[in-house]
Structure 1
């Protein structure tokens, strides 16, 4: 309450009551920690005290803070870009800064759900943008990444959902795109060094991913492989890049056991000389005859149960799996481009050259 001198006004003499509810927002804290009043200060309220009347405050307009016009809130500090970009973000982070990050990534060509959760999809988008901006590809959003997202890098080519804008990479490639690839492979289940060098370890991880995605296994990273990474395809256990069986493998003993069955009839599901062989049955028989205890599996099961390798790494006794018909056929590698297999088309076990069809090499060494 404030005592005012009586004047010749239209109100009755007496104490004037100023209703601060319609003049000031609740007291809050500013950026520096000092108490502030939202719309007007108490001093400003008292300036017009002589003409104030005792009345209920007017109802605030929709969408405004009570008694505060949208454009007149000097005491309320809006959330600014700098408040978001000063926050370091990484996988697992949540909140408004992550929401802003996802919006900026989408502005640069990503297609993220803006949910404020820094998950695997956001991680991949961050790594892709870091690669395009030629900064360290670590998936952590710090000053350099924020600058790339909010500064002058919007003209960088956006990541395409089908991988068509990504560079084609192969063994021997180097640079930031390879680091992005390696980080994405690790996010898909590989365990390789992120060093920007496309070496044998990266090539093996690429082939494993391709096998898991059911695409051509050639070790070359083109649109289909990038797309598989962008979709978050996970590397299947044993699909290359994993540990070997730890068993001492005598390749020549495997070949000798398989060659001894040449001419035996083809029988679907067969795994012995008396019943006949199908392709996986011959592998089962030859490996076990050579002292390698393999369980009975299909051709696809043997493919993903071993370790996918390049042709240059293949040795006699390894397997050659043909990727057509969902990894529907395989043979035992003899060397020099030849295999021994139980052939459905020839209806017997044969030794022949590898024909022109997509295939991968698999080892249990």
Structure 2
């Protein structure tokens, strides 16, 4: 399984990551059931102080994983609380890390536990209505009020029209979740977690593009290839004067007709939509999460990128190296 972040390091063992569940299983022993179907007589989650110092990663099992799954569900996931850190839990962890704007590596350490502290929403996101364009009523008014708190400028009229849909898309794009204008548990959870709406965001279609332009991935790759050999210049965005990694993205995208503004690598990461490697197509972006999303390149397919390399002091095409990274699309 390939999630939003390619696994780039071998999983390391350890007591913290391999603790086995006790013989008498907790609520997590009910394997394969969605949280809403777990029997109401199941015991309550253990106190979080038992587990929040435990580092967890894919392959871990036990009560700490069950507690993690419960916390993820409180923040909008829909996991079976089975005490097994498998692919579904990994995806939920990465989604939470993306929403919290911390390193998206799938490893649950202090920062991820901190983002999961508290109750998430004061109301279970799954208990709130699913909203979409055309809906009306008090729930839509609540949605509009909360969107305004995150940076939108909507009339709170209880009518889910095009402006509200655009603001929802902007929020979903900023949170790195599916951009579809439908307000379900994950979108409610993103609202509760305080994800800000980027100015001008949400005007694009399903891909969270700033301009709404149709993205021609091969045209982006061709524009990027035309700059190979250009010298590296921090802050630059022109083949004639040099460019850095985000300047290359700015140049190639605009040359291909995708009118994105000049941003940092981190700005481009959260201005688009984080996707899995299996979804990535030529022209999408590869953002390296180290140094606070400090580097990125343009995906050419087959595990390769074009990037402005500070170490090589020029624009190069090369294989993606072994460092934590995410794939980002503006489609």
Q: TM-score, normalised by structure 2?
A: 0.54
- Which residue pairs with 2:289 in the alignment? 323
**Is 1:241–2:177 an aligned residue pair?**
yes
- Structure 2: where are the runs of 5+ without partners? 1-25, 122-170, 180-206
Gap change, CA 1:289 and 1:256, over 3 Å in 2: same
Alpha-carbon separation, structure 2, partners of 1:330 and 1:180: 34
Contact 2:287 2:296 in 1 (8 A): yes
1 or 2 for the larger relative contact order (CA 8 Å, sep ≥6)? Answer: 2
* Residue in structure 1 matching 2:304, options 300, 317, 338: 338
Is 1:312 matched with 2:278?
Answer: yes
Q: How does 1:273-288 map to 2 (within 5 A)?
A: 273-288=239-254
State whether residues 99 and 175 of structure 2, in contact with CA within 8 Å, keep that contact through their aligned partners in structure 1. yes
Q: 1:275, CA displacement in angstroms?
A: 2.5
1:171-210 to structure 2, matched below 5 A, reads 184-185=71-72, 187-188=74-75, 190=76, 193=78, 204-210=91-97
* Deviation at residue 162 of structure 1 after TM alignment: 5.3
Residue 235 of structure 2 is aligned to residue 269 of structure 1: yes
TM-score w.r.t. the length of structure 1 is 0.49
Query: Which consecutive residues of structure 1, in runs of 5 or more, have no partner in the other structure?
Result: 1-129, 150-155
SS at 1:238 equivalent: helix
Is the 8 Å Cα contact of residues 51 and 67 (structure 2) preserved in structure 1?
no
Distance 1:204 1:292, change over 3 A: farther
Instruction: Sort the Cα spacing of 1:336 and 1:230 in 2 relative to 1 into closer, same or farther, 3 A.
Output: same
Partner of 2:117: 230
CA–CA distance in 2 between the matches of 1:301 and 1:187? 28
**8 Å contact from structure 1 (residues 131, 176) kept in 2:** no
Conserved? CA contact 2:287–2:295, under 8 Å: yes
Match of 1:159 in 2: 48
Tell me whether 1:218 sits opposite 2:105 in the alignment.
Answer: yes
- 1:256 paired residue among 222, 233, 239: 222
Three-state SS of the structure 1 residue aligned to 2:174 is: coil
Cα separation, partners in 2 of 1:199 and 1:168, compared to 1, 3 Å: closer
Shift of 1:337: 1.9
Structure number with larger C-alpha Rg: 1
Root-mean-square deviation over aligned CA pairs: 4.2
- 1:356 and 2:245 correspond: no
Residues 217-245 of structure 1: CA deviation (Å, up to 9, x unaligned): 23455675344312678999624214122
Determine if contact 1:203/1:219 at 8 Å carries over to the other structure.
yes
Give the distance between the partners of 2:98 and 2:250, measured in 1 at CA. Answer: 22
User: Kindly tell me: are residues 313 and 361 of structure 1, through their superposed partners in 2, closer, same or farther at Cα, counting changes over 3 Å?
Assistant: same
What SS does the corresponding residue of 2:49 show, helix, strand or coil?
A: coil
Offset of residue 199 of structure 1 = 9.3
SS of equivalent residue, structure 1 residue 262? coil
CA distance in 1, matches of 2:309, 2:119: 36
Deviation sequence 1:135-181 (CA, Å, 0-9, x none): 9845xxx9737xx46xxxxxx854336535697557xx999998976
Contact (CA 8 Å) 2:94, 2:105: kept in 1 or not? yes
Displacement after TM superposition at 1:339 (Å): 0.9
Judged with a 3 Å threshold, the aligned counterparts in structure 2 of structure 1 residues 267 and 253 are, in CA distance, closer, same or farther, namely same
Deviation at 1:250, TM superposition (A): 1.8
1:128-139 paired onto structure 2 within 5 Å: 131=27, 137=35
Structure 1 residue 333, shift from structure 2 partner:
0.9
